[in-house]
């Protein structure tokens, strides 16, 4: 029902998942990502516990391939599951159950997995992989977005289009980027629009976001932003009051 990419950026260790589907809110159901642990996509009649338990096993130090084996061994519904894993070292592993609706399959490369089911064909995951490899100079969230766009351009989910999402963990436990389009007739196009807004309105301020070891980085800059906001609100209120009088 879905095409996804799971990846680790070798330049900085960032981890992420991007996904799109003819299913509601795939961006909230498919990705599982944890700082310093790994990233997982669980899909095709997805079992959320494959993501939850997979991150726990990765956290125990098991490599991606061994985690995949453990998860599949313990899931009686394995024939309907599809799973992509990249561990904190960038080692990929993937599984496609034999009863996933065709076309279904996966492709692994250096630090990434592209996978999908109910697709127009293998060209979808190949296009995603090609795009990801060509965009090595871009930040991870952009590489994942480009891969989704390439997959959609190659046909995507053969049932249609509905949702998309990107989740990236960078240097803190909370996401650097966590964007979703839950119900839209052009979800990948809309996700691109939202990402471009995010680049302008949020990414410049992330440097001032709390850190585990410093909850007030760049505090002076934060206070300047805060004061500017208050001044703008006061000005808006003054204009509004003047119009009413």
Q: Determine the Cα–Cα distance for residues 11 and 202; give it in Å rounded to an integer.
A: 22
pLDDT digit string (tens) for 189-199? Answer: 999 999 999 99
Distance (Å, whole) CA 141 – CA 1: 22
pLDDT digits (tens, 9 = 90+) for 95-111: 999 999 999 999 999 99
Query: Can you give the pLDDT at residue 121?
Result: 97
DSSP 169-228: E-SSSS-SEEEEE-S-SSHHHHHHHHHHHHHHHTGGGGGGS-BTTBSSTTHHHHHHHHHH
DSSP state of 232: H
What are 198's two structure tokens? 């995010």
Q: Copy the structure tokens of residue 219.
A: 């505090």
Q: At residue 204, does pLDDT exceed 80?
A: yes
* CA atoms 94, 60, 52, 30: torsion sign: negative
Cis peptide before 216 (omega within 30 of 0): no
Q: 138, 147 in Cβ contact below 8 A?
A: no
Lookup: tokens for 138: 């871009």
Q: Is the pLDDT of residue 245 over 80?
A: no
Q: Which helix (H) or strand (E) holds 134?
A: helix 123-134
Q: What is the pLDDT of residues 216-240, one digit of tens each?
A: 998 888 898 899 999 999 999 999 8
Instruction: Measure the CA–CA gap between 127 and 120, rounded to whole angstroms.
Output: 12
Question: What are the angstrom distances between the C-alpha of 14 and each of 90, 118, 121, 134, 141?
Answer: 10, 29, 29, 18, 9
Name the helix (H) or strand (E) containing 67: helix 64-73
pLDDT above 70 coverage of the chain, percent: 100
Split at pLDDT 50, 70, 90, the class of 158 is: very high
Average pLDDT on 151-158 reads: 97
pLDDT for the residue numbered 221: 84
What is the pLDDT at residue 236? 92
- Angstrom CA distances, 49 to 88, 97, 126, 130, 219, stand at 19, 16, 28, 30, 40
Query: Encoding tokens for residue 131?
Result: 């795009």
Q: What are phi and psi of 238, to 5 degrees?
A: -65, -45
162-189 confidence digits (pLDDT tens): 999 999 999 999 999 999 999 999 999 9
Cα(146)–Cα(218) distance, integer angstroms: 32
Q: Which CATH number fits domain 2-206: 3.30.465.10, 3.40.800.10, 3.40.50.300, 3.60.20.10?
A: 3.60.20.10
Residue 209, exposed/middle/buried by CB under 10 A (0-12, 13-18, 19+)?
middle
Task: Categorize the per-residue pLDDT at 122 as very low, low, confident or very high, splitting at 50, 70 and 90.
Answer: very high
More confident residue, 245 or 213: 213
Q: Tens digits of per-residue pLDDT, 47-95? A: 999 999 999 999 999 999 999 999 999 999 999 999 999 999 999 999 9
pLDDT score, position 40: 98
pLDDT value of residue 233: 94
């Amino acid at each position: 029902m879905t095409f996804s990419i799971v990846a680790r950026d070798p330049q900085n260790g960032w981890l992420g998942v991007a996904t799109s589907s003819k299913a509601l809110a795939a961006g909230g159901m498919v990705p599982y990502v944890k700082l310093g642990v790994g990233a997982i996509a669980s899909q095709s009649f997805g079992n959320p516990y494959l993501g939850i338990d997979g991150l726990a096993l990765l956290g125990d130090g098991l490599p991606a391939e061994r985690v995949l084996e453990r998860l599949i061994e313990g899931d009686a519904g394995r024939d309907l599951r599809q799973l992509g894993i990249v561990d904190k070292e960038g080692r990929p592993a993937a599984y496609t159950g034999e009863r996933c609706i065709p076309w279904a399959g996966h492709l692994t490369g250096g630090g990434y997995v592209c996978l999908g089911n109910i697709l127009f064909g293998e060209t979808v995951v190949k296009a995603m992989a090609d795009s990801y490899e060509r965009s090595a100079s871009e930040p991870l969230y952009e590489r994942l977005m480009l891969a989704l766009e390439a997959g959609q351009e190659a046909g995507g989910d053969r049932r249609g289009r509905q949702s998309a999402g990107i989740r990236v963990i960078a240097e803190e436990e909370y996401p650097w980027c966590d964007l979703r389009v839950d119900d839209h007739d052009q979800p990948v196009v809309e996700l691109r629009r939202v990402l471009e807004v995010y680049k302008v309105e949020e990414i410049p301020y992330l440097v001032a976001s709390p850190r585990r070891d410093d909850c007030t980085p760049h505090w002076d800059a934060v206070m300047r932003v805060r004061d500017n906001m208050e001044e703008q609100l006061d000005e808006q209120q003054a204009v509004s009051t003047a119009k009413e009088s």
